[in-house]
Chain A
Amino acid sequence: MVRILFILLFSYSAFGQINDFAKVDFKTADKIAKAQRGASLEELPQLVHKLTADLDTEVEQFRALYYWICHNIRNDYNLLLKNERKLKKYANDSVLLNDWKASFKKELFLKLRSKKRTICTGYAYLLKEMAELAGFECELINGYGQTKTVRFEYLTSPNHSWNAIKLNGKWYLCDPTWSSGLIDSSTYEFHFIFKEEYFLMAPNEFAEAHRPLDSKWTLLEGTNN
């Protein structure tokens, strides 16, 4: 009997992720997030409060934060190009390289605060910051992200950041950058397209395009978490 129970529990956790919340209707959370469209990041704690205070469950509160970010923060292609150019330029000069990284970090946060534009680390950082202000445990995960144009085998260094979030005592994965939209391959402009699938995606599906530096954050069975 105990064994059956154990197997049942085990298989339940393997299904996991959004299935845990299959019965949750996110309409209210999404509506609250929509009502804050265009809100400023200057008073972030107050924004977090507005997004979460009227929602009862952890998953709905987190959803409102996620939905807001994915509909209000733009991916900045020029910022990315600028960073790539400089990283290449200073690749052989560690002093200049570190100077650049420090000044780019400042620029990144300034752009995020004042223009609500960023690149992926900015999305993951903002989600972590907002989730923590709402009282959640949230991690920023660095690793390798595989896209249509960049395959895992060609990646020599980490290129992507995403999040792990603890809801009701259990960790889940999400990718706010890829949930927010796409860069048009012809104009290189950013377009908001909400990709729901990256919100609390099942770990086995998530692992197809995400490889964290620390394998415990795959959240797959057999990894130590």
Chain B
Amino acid sequence: MKIFLSHSKNKLKSNGLIPLVILLTFFTLPIFAQDATFLVKGKVSDEIGPLENAVVVLKGTDKGVATDTNGLFTFPEKLPSGAILVVSYLGYEKQEVMFTSNLTFLDITLSEENIDILEALMVEDIEEAKKKQKQKKNQ
């Protein structure tokens, strides 16, 4: 009986290690992830060549940088793997690019927006229009 008890205690002890290891893993993982950030560089071009002043931002934030005359950028802060960058330039289709740690230089090609340019003018007598606007506000 005694032997059996001590044996079961031993078993408990050895099993107790596993949750401890798992617990430790949980604690260390986020710390590890926080530490692993990378300097992200890249180049933005269109079909002709490098694109100057394209903007690269971390999605959902205002952290970002514009490309130089050679279309090159270095993100102003180090980023963790899996971070999503939004690359945009007015007149081109935006692109979302996921940065991963095994690819720290991003080569991005934007394509021009395919849009038809249309125009319907509102030509009116300005004084009359302003009067109307005032009347509306006073109503």
Contacts and interface: CB of A to CB of B under 8 A. Distances in A.
Contacts of A101: 117
Interface string B103-128: 00000000011011111111111100
Interface string A180-221: 011111101001010100000000000000000000000000
B7 to A, nearest CB: 60
B13 interface: no
A158 interface: yes
Interface residues of B, number: 30
Contacts, number: 125
Interface stretch (A24-32, A91-99, A147-155): A147-155
B117 A44 contact: no
Interface in A36-69: 41-46, 49-50, 53
B133 A106 contact: no
Contacts of A44: 55, 88, 90
A120 B115 CA distance: 12
Report the interface size class on chain A: 35 or more
A119 B86 contact: no
A83 to B, nearest CB: 7
Nearest to A129: B90
Interface string B73-90: 000000000000010101
Contacts of B94: 129, 132-133
Contacts of A119: 117-119
B119 A185 contact: no
Given A105-B115, A125-B113, A133-B86, A45 B121 contact: no
B47 interface: no
A64 to B, nearest CB: 14
B115 A129 contact: no
Given A109-B91, A147-B121, A42 B116 contact: no
Contacts of A158: 116, 118
Interface of B: 53, 55, 57, 60-62, 64, 66, 86, 88, 90-91, 94, 112-113, 115-126, 129-130, 133
